[in-house]
Chains A and B, each alone.
Chain A
Amino acid sequence: MEQWYRLVWQGLMTAWRRRWLLVATAWGVCLLGWGIVALIPNSYESDARLYVDADAILTPLLRGIAIDQNTQSQLEMMQETLLSRPNLEKLIDITPLNLSITNRTQRQAMVARLGATIKVASQGRNLFTISYRNSNPQLAHDVVAALLNIFIERATRTNRADMSNAQRFLDNQIAFYVSQLSAAEQRRAAFLRKYMDILPLQSNGGVSRLDSARVTVRNLEWQLKDAMARRAALQQEESMTPPVITEATALGSDAASPQARLVAAEEKLAELRTRYTDRFPDVIAARRLVATLRAELAKAPKKQAPPPGFTLPNPVYDQLKMRMIEADATISALRAQLDSARQDLARMEALARAAPEVEAQYQGLDRDYEVLRKNYEELLARRQASNITEAADTTADKVRLRIIDPPQIPTIPVAPNRLLLVSLVLLAGLGAAAGLAVLLAQTDSSIADLGQLREFGRPVLGGISVVTAPRQRHIFYPQAVGVMLAVLVLIAVYGGLAAEFASNHRILL
């Protein structure tokens, strides 16, 4: 700790001893720095704000198909367009910039310099700021204004080009889709032809021919079985029916026998007597009929058998025979149909076994085709829309480029920030003095105390403190006041400069 005090003390002593050198250093650095700051020319900035709907054409047309441009790429596009070499060349030609240009090399240097110094900044989507700095405010304004004019002129031309570009793109796309679509269509049709039998068809209600063939076979089988069962029933009937019939048999059927009539009449009489008395007319009539019949029966001789050999062909049998023949015909027809249907089915099944993925493949083809068709239709719609847009553009002048803030002739310089520079120079001057003091203290090899004195190896007589004689006070105080005054005047000069620069600098406005 004590050593630190000693070091500081020695440093202060050194600084005091070389006070005028330090003051001169501070003053020299400050005056030099302030002179340089004063010599820096003023720099004026002119800027313009611009609304540019750079993707007004491309975006609605290609929405969903092309990738959207982001702001950054938009800004880059803007910079490229705005600061292109032809633009800058033209800019040099129409502004006073060309006054200082005499040859090709200077021109190229000027183009490069302009490209680097004209700033294009993005202020959000579609909003751009163009700014340029120059020591001449009028020139700064002229450059920005001229650049705007060139850009607007060129941009209107570019819009048309953009539009036709978009349409060309759409046409190309449509042509491409057409060829794709027909190819897909052909592919799908060929496939369909090849595997028509085993593919479910829209026209068939979504059922494949294979399936319907299966059903047909099953139906035919049933029908055949049915027919055969009917034939068997007919055959049994035929066997029980006699092919010829006798006379009696033939007569007995048309008139009832007297016994039968008697029985019937007796039955009627009994029935009536259960309900009515014997005096009821109907009962009397029934009893009379029964008596008549009995009398008739008793009187009439016994009947004889009809004579043999008197026969007739049985019509029922004939009928049965006819139906048998019909059934046989049906059966054979069904058999033939079944055979054919079975062959069909077998062929289809073989086909289906050979190509098991047919259905999936077909679906894939179908899907491709559908997608192509959808895109194609969409493109067609877009082209239509673009035609409409173009028509609208040419008629109504749509806003895609508008100057929001036109450039103005700047009156207040933006650079240099003299207040800051002047302050920095003051700090640098004081710092240089302080640094020099430290340096001097570091390189100082003077003797500070008796300990150091003894290192000479000579006898030491002693040490005498500094005498604060009035004579020396008279030296110290004016000197201290002088140093103070020098520093204060330096700071006062700084204050004056700072006030001067602050009053006409934007930083305090």
Chain B
Amino acid sequence: MTIDDKRSHLIERAAARLRQAAAPPPEADPGAGAARERAGLHSVFALAPKPDLFEGRNRPAVIETATLAKAGLIDADRQGARVVEELRIAQNNLLRYALGEPGAPAARSGNLVMITSALAKEGKSFIALNLAAGIARQAERRVLLIDTDARPGSLGRMFGLGMAPGLLDLTRGGARDLEDLAVPTACENLEFLPLGNGGGEALPRARIAERIAEIGRRYSEHLIMLDTAPCLASSDPHALAPIVGQTVFVIAAGFTQQADIEAALDLVQTCPVVSLLLNKIRSWNGHSFGSYGHPAVQG
């Protein structure tokens, strides 16, 4: 990394840093192993870590491009560059908060990012899908998108995977492996983990959270994004907030009232980084990120 590289893209730099950080073998983390021992887990994660979920996999994409588009994935060619650019700014900021500035230490479990909001219909799934796809596409990071929301309109339902096994089955500790459960998508470097049904068994939130934290540690090179239920409608975000490195708090412009936002932010304050993302801006004059002051991406 030289001075000349300074102009290079932030995401490329971040990717380089991640590759460096992933160099030490996972066995060098005795604390994590001890935690697993205490929890008495006997899952696939107790075995030797697999640093790359995607490596050596050549499964056909289950989630087609059309399905992704239907679920709200932005097509840069069709919907214009503006939203794409705005998303890119958000991606860059997300990566910066997740991995830290150059020279500064990365946040604890920075690769675990929770997407939440105060209320329903604020665009969590849209933001999660687009940020995940954007990062996967642009930064060539491998991104695992996990659906933790059982409600109608969640990503799993939109992908038509409402019945597919997923996170809950993994938590219950069946014989299934994450590699088997993760669903490849038409977007390269992006895989999706549905919620699953856990065999109808009610699982404690703490176990689910612990399992997600394990996934984060195991695939520390990947960016793991959690699409969650709204803060004021479910306790999931509150339970997940302590284990994730960053919370992206989506706010629908002109919709969510400040009181709700404050209440929801209080619920996720255990997360070290809570960043805000304003969604659905209907600007009267047409430039929303003009005020953001990011001339580098104006073109």
Listed in ascending order, the chain A residues whose CB lies under 8 Å from chain B are 2, 5-6, 8-10, 13-14, 17, 444-451, 453, 456, 458-469, 471
In the complex, the answer to whether A467 meets B277 with C-beta atoms within 8 Å is: no
* Chain A residue contacts of B283, Cβ below 8 A: 449, 465
Sort chain B's interface into a size bin. 35 or more
Chain A residue at smallest Cβ distance from B274: A458
In the docked arrangement, what's the CA distance between A9 and B277, Å? 21
* Chain B residue contacts of A468, Cβ below 8 A: 79
**A10-B93 contact, Cβ under 8 Å, with A450-B278, A460-B275, A464-B280:** no
Give 12 pairs: A residue, B residue, CB < 8 Å, sorted on A: A5-B284, A444-B254, A446-B254, A446-B255, A449-B281, A460-B93, A460-B278, A461-B248, A462-B86, A463-B253, A464-B281, A466-B282
User: Chain A contact residues: over half helix, strand or loop, or mixed?
Assistant: mixed
14 other contacts beyond A445-B258, A465-B283, with CB at 8 A cut-off? A13-B282, A445-B257, A446-B255, A447-B251, A447-B258, A453-B251, A458-B275, A459-B273, A462-B87, A463-B253, A463-B281, A464-B83, A464-B90, A467-B126
B277–chain A nearest beta-carbon distance, Å: 4
Could you mark each residue 257-299 of chain B with 1 if its beta carbon is under 8 Å from any beta carbon of chain A, else 0? 1110100010000000111111111111100110110000000
In the complex, the answer to whether B277 meets A14 with C-beta atoms within 8 Å is: no
* Chain A residue contacts of B90, Cβ below 8 A: 461-462, 464
In the complex, the answer to whether B86 meets A453 with C-beta atoms within 8 Å is: no
A19–chain B nearest beta-carbon distance, Å: 13
In the complex, the answer to whether B127 meets A464 with C-beta atoms within 8 Å is: yes
In the docked arrangement, what's the CA distance between A467 and B72, Å? 9
Listed in ascending order, the chain B residues whose CB lies under 8 Å from chain A are 70, 72, 74, 79, 82-83, 86-87, 89-90, 93-94, 97, 123, 126-127, 248-249, 251-259, 261, 265, 273-285, 288-289, 291-292
A476–chain B nearest beta-carbon distance, Å: 11
Contact among A446, A456, A462 with B93 in the assembled complex (CB-CB below 8 Å): A462
* Chain A residue contacts of B281, Cβ below 8 A: 448-449, 463-466
* Chain A residue contacts of B259, Cβ below 8 A: 445
In the docked arrangement, what's the CA distance between A448 and B283, Å? 8
In the complex, the answer to whether A458 meets B276 with C-beta atoms within 8 Å is: yes
In the docked arrangement, what's the CA distance between A136 and B187, Å? 82
* Chain A residue contacts of B278, Cβ below 8 A: 447, 449-450, 453, 460, 462-464
Chain A residue at smallest Cβ distance from B73: A469
Question: What are the 9 A-B residue pairs with the smallest beta carbon separation, nearest first?
Answer: A9-B284, A462-B90, A463-B278, A461-B277, A445-B258, A459-B275, A461-B275, A466-B280, A462-B89
* Chain B residue contacts of A456, Cβ below 8 A: 261, 265, 276
Contact among B94, B265, B291 with A450 in the assembled complex (CB-CB below 8 Å): B291
* Chain A residue contacts of B123, Cβ below 8 A: 464
* Chain B residue contacts of A449, Cβ below 8 A: 253, 278, 281, 283, 288, 291
In the complex, the answer to whether A14 meets B288 with C-beta atoms within 8 Å is: no
In the docked arrangement, what's the CA distance between A463 and B274, Å? 15
* Chain B residue contacts of A14, Cβ below 8 A: 254
* Chain B residue contacts of A446, Cβ below 8 A: 252-258
* Chain B residue contacts of A9, Cβ below 8 A: 282, 284
In the docked arrangement, what's the CA distance between A459 and B247, Å? 11
In the complex, the answer to whether A444 meets B257 with C-beta atoms within 8 Å is: yes
